[in-house]
A and B are shown apart, each in its own frame.
Chain A
């Protein structure tokens, strides 16, 4: 069933035009047209392809974003895994093991965390430092395209599309091997939860 829904969503995504044909001249073009709530939480379903071994990995879970507090990304199926970014710290919980990386003394990590946080809270002004930004709005749907200008980020992904109506509904990431990862968001609410790594 999920496959059919995803297929439908994939087909429906074709209603968006190629956003990369529409570069943004002024970031306000986006901020005026895209609603970015300060708190956001909901469910996600992710579809990630790894072409080298011909597999597609499906997962789903919950997410929470708070512009001020941080981000929580919790995969529930098929494996339990939590990533929390809060107060400059990256916390990874996996198979009963917690790894905490404090970016205070690690500028490289701080840089990565800042970009990830900017992506998830849709801080387009900050993102414009590392990406060429594209934007299009049609029939009430918005689409933002990001193409990295930084080779370091390009190692992780080369381009990204954020699509949605009121809230963000879909993110498509493309890496250097042309592997595509699509994340669908649902049950979105403007509330957040605890971001503490210790719990």
Chain B
């Protein structure tokens, strides 16, 4: 044995270094977006995913800032001060919008004969040339200059007609005092858009300091202009808050967990060794779990890290069992012999639960399961193979009597309560709490998963109200074999959407062909204008009194545009149009995205997509909620399956159903009581509450197993279970105070369930004693 002492240490060190080596050799991405946690499924999920990614490429990098004051100029001044503070940062700030007007004029001057408003197109197609020239005459005779372009380049005023009837959005923003402004009942707002570099928008290392600087500049502007409201919103701000909150919460959870271990170690074992070995086990298990998750998935979500921080409480269980037994065993190897069977079965049952979680079909849950499996397996390896070697000469104090007495009195109280009429009492408890289960309402809304802080929410609501972006994104994704085919197909779909808009079934839509039509459509538009010129121009020019020379100039200008078509490449040339990039996918596939606003008749939209080839309907929020509902239902079935699997495993292991039932009954009562209490308290349950129940089964069963397995071998097995419960509660309990609905649900449910599991774990031994007596 002595010669082999160093072998486990060397092997473990080699394994750990190998894992870290692989981890550091591969780059990984830290994800913060709440949308990342939802799996994609259903019809055309690939193109829907691609469309969403394409859109988010534009929107995830955009921050909206609204400066509000009764006097717009005052709001503008605050904006300029804010802009000045950020001028040296790597940010693209759009505030003064003079260049927007020039961009529109530049675009229109090249293609105005190819871009027609819907009404002009309709009139020309129906050969109502007089109507078009009549409108042009009223433009010409109007008191003010109605032309967007010089008269000789646009005699029929097609450019202002196109712009006026664009109907791109019902946004509350309008140009005023050189900025995009908006007006609510009391205040005037000046709008500033900040674009973060796309490539860096997903990197927390860049995003956090960048958004922090923007927030700080906002605070400085607020201090300098105390009468001006500064509202900052947008996806990067949410990412910033989510990431910095997660980091903060993770630190708090870690500190609370570690402190609780320190206090428990000192109180139970009067030894700093226990604490340091616990830290060693946790740190190595956490690092291994982190590395394995990143190696397998290439990325890790902050929620996995928050959940991972609570793994401290789980890893420590085996450690506590070892340390509780060590003072009473002859040596480190005997200690291991006394507990190894119990921790092995515990590990198997826990892994069973996590493996079921791993196949939940939900990315983030699978990541959490892998993280937990890797961490737990690592902790088991450390205790099973390293502890006997490294703790060989370590002295550990005996557990103080007051702890032993306290635990004994708790266990005795519970045991005494159930000694008589065991089955009847279990039946009553299950019935009373079971009734509460029927009061539970499901909560599958994606919006319930993330609640931003009130100030950010307020800023987001204000921006949504002004920009009319309040409704959830419903879209059509229109595919085509080429760029032009996709654009043509979109134009066809728009005819249907125009019909719906006229019936007020939708309030409007945004699409790329509203600005840049397909070349086919542009050619058609040009032909119609050509007919307008041939039928009406001479009379129109006569009416206005335009001389021959100028008529020739106008004709030449018209002819020179014939083969000049607006293409998607034009979008990139103008800042104001760059956001439209998100509406077209030009990768392997060609697809165009139509964002539909305030869709009231979703059924009609779905029906059209079903009959129209190449058109896909997507309602992300509804689909996500549907997926969450499906996953919750599937997880509920998996939970029952897990209980059955563990029960069967126990039955095989113990060669009988009675012992297996004795071990699993406390967990079943705990789950029923947890659900019942939540039902009576009116807490709606989501998928994440169900996942917490998995953990309750896994760890609740562990407590029973440990009591049953070590009852005759270990002097104070109950104390080890109690200490395990305290440390687990300390880590999971803190999750209940996190800002994420997901971790909050896990924390609340687990705290309640784990506590009940500990309280009820003595029932396993009573039941067995009764069976033995019988």
Q: Which residue numbers of A lie inside 8 Å of B, CB to CB?
A: 46, 48, 50, 52-55, 57, 59, 73, 75, 78-79, 81, 92, 94-95, 97, 105-108, 110-111, 129-130, 149-152, 155-157, 171, 173, 175-177, 179, 181, 183
Q: Bound complex: CA of A175 vs CA of B145, how far in Å?
A: 7
Decide: A175 near B144, CB < 8 A? Known: A52-B151, A95-B131, A152-B101: yes
Q: Is the CB of A111 within 8 A of B176?
A: yes
Residues of B in contact, count (CB < 8 Å): 39
B376: interface (CB < 8 Å) = no
Query: In the assembled complex, which residues on chain A have CB atoms less than 8 Å from the CB atom of B577?
Result: none
Binds A, one of B395-403, B538-546, B648-656, B760-768: B538-546
B406: interface (CB < 8 Å) = no
**Pairs of residues from A and B, 5 with the lowest C-beta to C-beta distance, nearest first:** A108-B174, A95-B134, A175-B145, A152-B175, A53-B550
B333: interface (CB < 8 Å) = no
Give B544's nearest chain A residue, CB to CB: A55
Q: Is the CB of A156 within 8 A of B546?
A: no
Q: Bound complex: CA of A179 vs CA of B138, how far in Å?
A: 17
Chain B nearest CB from A140 CB (Å) reads 26
Q: Bound complex: CA of A95 vs CA of B131, how far in Å?
A: 7
Q: Is the CB of B144 within 8 A of A81?
A: no
Q: Is the CB of B134 within 8 A of A105?
A: no
Q: Is the CB of A54 within 8 A of B143?
A: no
Decide: A78 near B543, CB < 8 A? Known: A92-B138, A97-B131, A175-B144: yes
Q: Which of A54, A108, A173, A183 has the most CB of B within 10 A?
A: A108
Query: In the assembled complex, which residues on chain A have CB atoms less than 8 Å from the CB atom of B546?
Result: 53-55
Q: Bound complex: CA of A81 vs CA of B141, how far in Å?
A: 9
Query: In the assembled complex, which residues on chain B have CB atoms less than 8 Å from the CB atom of A151?
Result: 98, 101, 175, 178
Q: Is the CB of A94 within 8 A of B550?
A: no
Q: Bound complex: CA of A54 vs CA of B135, how far in Å?
A: 21
Q: Bound complex: CA of A55 vs CA of B135, how far in Å?
A: 18
Chain A nearest CB from B575 CB (Å) reads 16
Q: Is the CB of B141 within 8 A of A157?
A: no
Chain A nearest CB from B721 CB (Å) reads 65
Q: Beyond the given A95-B131, A111-B183, could you list 15 further A-B residue pairs with CB under 8 A, ordered by the A residue number? A: A53-B554, A54-B550, A55-B544, A57-B141, A57-B544, A57-B545, A75-B138, A79-B134, A95-B130, A107-B171, A107-B172, A150-B175, A151-B175, A177-B150, A179-B145
Q: List 6 A-B contacts (CB under 8 A).
A: A53-B554, A107-B173, A111-B174, A151-B101, A152-B178, A176-B145
Q: Bound complex: CA of A50 vs CA of B130, how far in Å?
A: 22
Query: In the assembled complex, which residues on chain B have CB atoms less than 8 Å from the CB atom of A48?
Result: 140-141, 143
Decide: A150 near B145, CB < 8 A? Known: A52-B152, A95-B131: no
Query: In the assembled complex, which residues on chain B have CB atoms less than 8 Å from the CB atom of A173?
Result: 143-144
Query: In the assembled complex, which residues on chain B have CB atoms less than 8 Å from the CB atom of A177?
Result: 145, 150
Decide: A53 near B175, CB < 8 A? Known: A94-B138, A173-B144: no
Q: Is the CB of B143 within 8 A of A150?
A: no
Decide: A94 near B144, CB < 8 A? Known: A108-B175, A150-B177, A150-B178: no
Q: Is the CB of A46 within 8 A of B143?
A: yes
Q: Bound complex: CA of A183 vs CA of B73, how far in Å?
A: 32
Q: Bound complex: CA of A108 vs CA of B140, how far in Å?
A: 22
Cβ 8 A contact of A53, one of B137, B152, B171: B152
B173-197 to A contact mask, C-beta < 8 Å, 1/0 = 1111110001100000000000000
Q: Is the CB of A55 within 8 A of B177?
A: no
Chain A nearest CB from B293 CB (Å) reads 49
Cβ 8 A contact of B72, one of A79, A129, A156: A129
Q: Bound complex: CA of A152 vs CA of B148, how far in Å?
A: 12
Q: Bound complex: CA of A48 vs CA of B145, how far in Å?
A: 9
Chain A nearest CB from B518 CB (Å) reads 27
B330: interface (CB < 8 Å) = no
Within 196-225 of B, Cβ neighbours of A (below 8 Å) are at none
Give A116's nearest chain B residue, CB to CB: B144
Chain A nearest CB from B155 CB (Å) reads 8
Q: Is the CB of A183 within 8 A of B143?
A: yes
Q: Is the CB of B141 within 8 A of A52?
A: no
B567-582 to A contact mask, C-beta < 8 Å, 1/0 = 0000000000000000
B481: interface (CB < 8 Å) = no
Decide: A155 near B101, CB < 8 A? Known: A53-B152, A54-B547, A129-B72: yes
Decide: A156 near B144, CB < 8 A? Known: A81-B138, A106-B170, A151-B98: yes
Within 365-424 of B, Cβ neighbours of A (below 8 Å) are at none
Q: Is the CB of A52 within 8 A of B98?
A: no
Q: Bound complex: CA of A106 vs CA of B134, how far in Å?
A: 25
Query: In the assembled complex, which residues on chain B have CB atoms less than 8 Å from the CB atom of A92?
Result: 138
Q: Is the CB of A157 within 8 A of B544?
A: no
Chain A nearest CB from B130 CB (Å) reads 7
Q: Which of A46, A106, A151, A156 has the most CB of B within 10 A?
A: A151
Query: In the assembled complex, which residues on chain B have CB atoms less than 8 Å from the CB atom of A183?
Result: 143
Cβ 8 A contact of B140, one of A57, A130, A175: A57
Query: In the assembled complex, which residues on chain A have CB atoms less than 8 Å from the CB atom of B155?
Result: 53
Chain A nearest CB from B172 CB (Å) reads 4
Q: Bound complex: CA of A106 vs CA of B508, how far in Å?
A: 13
Q: Which of B98, B140, B155, B176 has the most CB of A within 10 A?
A: B176
Q: Is the CB of B176 within 8 A of A59?
A: no
Q: Which of A78, A129, A152 has the most CB of B within 10 A?
A: A152
Within 539-561 of B, Cβ neighbours of A (below 8 Å) are at 543-547, 550, 553-554
Q: Is the CB of A59 within 8 A of B141?
A: yes
Query: In the assembled complex, which residues on chain A have CB atoms less than 8 Å from the CB atom of B174?
Result: 107-108, 110-111
Q: Bound complex: CA of A86 vs CA of B545, how far in Å?
A: 34
Chain B nearest CB from A152 CB (Å) reads 4
Q: Is the CB of B131 within 8 A of A150?
A: no
Q: Bound complex: CA of A172 vs CA of B111, how far in Å?
A: 33
Q: Which of A48, A53, A59, A130 has the most CB of B within 10 A?
A: A53
Q: Is the CB of A107 within 8 A of B182?
A: yes
Chain B nearest CB from A181 CB (Å) reads 6
Q: Is the CB of B176 within 8 A of A150?
A: yes
Q: Bound complex: CA of A167 vs CA of B150, how far in Å?
A: 35
Decide: A95 near B178, CB < 8 A? Known: A55-B545, A79-B141, A107-B183: no
Give A171's nearest chain B residue, CB to CB: B143
Chain B nearest CB from A72 CB (Å) reads 14
Decide: A181 near B550, CB < 8 A? Known: A149-B177, A150-B176: no
Chain A nearest CB from B317 CB (Å) reads 61
Query: In the assembled complex, which residues on chain A have CB atoms less than 8 Å from the CB atom of B72?
Result: 129
Query: In the assembled complex, which residues on chain A have CB atoms less than 8 Å from the CB atom of B170?
Result: 105-106
Decide: A156 near B98, CB < 8 A? Known: A95-B131, A106-B170, A107-B182: no
Give A183's nearest chain B residue, CB to CB: B143
Chain A nearest CB from B166 CB (Å) reads 11
Q: Bound complex: CA of A151 vs CA of B177, how far in Å?
A: 7
Chain B nearest CB from A194 CB (Å) reads 21
Query: In the assembled complex, which residues on chain A have CB atoms less than 8 Å from the CB atom of B543?
Result: 78
Q: Bound complex: CA of A170 vs CA of B148, how far in Å?
A: 26
Query: In the assembled complex, which residues on chain B have CB atoms less than 8 Å from the CB atom of A152?
Result: 101, 175-176, 178
Q: Bound complex: CA of A110 vs CA of B173, how far in Å?
A: 11
Q: Is the CB of B144 within 8 A of A50?
A: no
Query: In the assembled complex, which residues on chain B have CB atoms less than 8 Å from the CB atom of A97?
Result: 131, 134-135
Give B171's nearest chain A residue, CB to CB: A107
Chain B nearest CB from A112 CB (Å) reads 8
Give A52's nearest chain B residue, CB to CB: B151
Q: Bound complex: CA of A183 vs CA of B554, how far in Å?
A: 28
